[in-house]
Amino acid sequence: MVHIPPEEFDLKFYGIGKIVINWGAIEEFISACVIFLYHKCNGKNTITCKKSGMPRTQFSRKLAFLNEMFQLPILAQYSDEGLKLICRAEWLSKHRDTIVHGAVVEFKPDILKFSKHIYDDITKKTCKPKFEYFEYTLNDLVKYENMMMGLASDLGLFVQRLLKELGNQQLDLQ
């Protein structure tokens, strides 16, 4: 573990805590949207779900499902906004993954350096971890924290609107 002076610890990690909290809201709203559209629009007939069932945990599968759903004519009026939200979530998820799953390996006054291991193919016995390194300034953390807070808010409003406008309708892909 990298030593971080106590007087700087709160400042550095406060932003990371806010990223984690905001990401929890993002995940919840994405999951609510997946569940609602899966049941409301017969989502089991999508290519994503025919391959491996309803996406329950893996974030990238949830986004793939939503991407497929928002391309359907039945959801045309939500398509632009839904696809833009998915794009924002996908882009921010890369930073969230590094910050949450990475390890702080270097501490400088205004920079935290994270390492994150990646594997080529964990099913192979010859698989060896590789490490990628990412540096985040305090300004970067604040920027991503604010972007995630904005995305969480936008997703919440979008999902509420979907539930309100489509909640009493019977929609079917077939």
- Residue 1 falls within a domain, yes or no? no
Handedness of CA 129, 9, 13, 142 (dihedral sign): negative
- Residue 107 falls within a domain, yes or no? no
Q: Is 66 helix (H, G, I), strand (E, B) or coil?
A: helix
Q: Give the total number of structural domains in the chain.
A: 1
pLDDT for the residue 138: 85
- Residue 87 falls within a domain, yes or no? yes
Q: Is residue 55 within 8 Å of residue 61, measured between CB atoms?
A: yes
Instruction: Give the range of the structural domain holding residue 84, as residue numbers without chain letter.
Output: 6-102+139-166
What is the C-alpha end-to-end distance of the chain, expressed in Å?
Answer: 55
Residue 30 neighbours by CB distance under 10 Å? 23
pLDDT in tens, the chain (174 residues): 566 666 666 666 788 889 999 999 999 999 999 999 988 887 878 877 788 778 888 899 999 999 999 998 889 999 999 999 999 999 999 999 999 888 888 888 788 888 887 766 666 667 677 888 999 988 898 899 999 999 999 999 999 999 889 887 654 444
Q: Is residue 101 within 8 Å of residue 116, measured between CB atoms?
A: yes
pTM: 0.84
Q: What whole-number distance in Å separates Cα of residue 114 and Cα of residue 136? A: 8
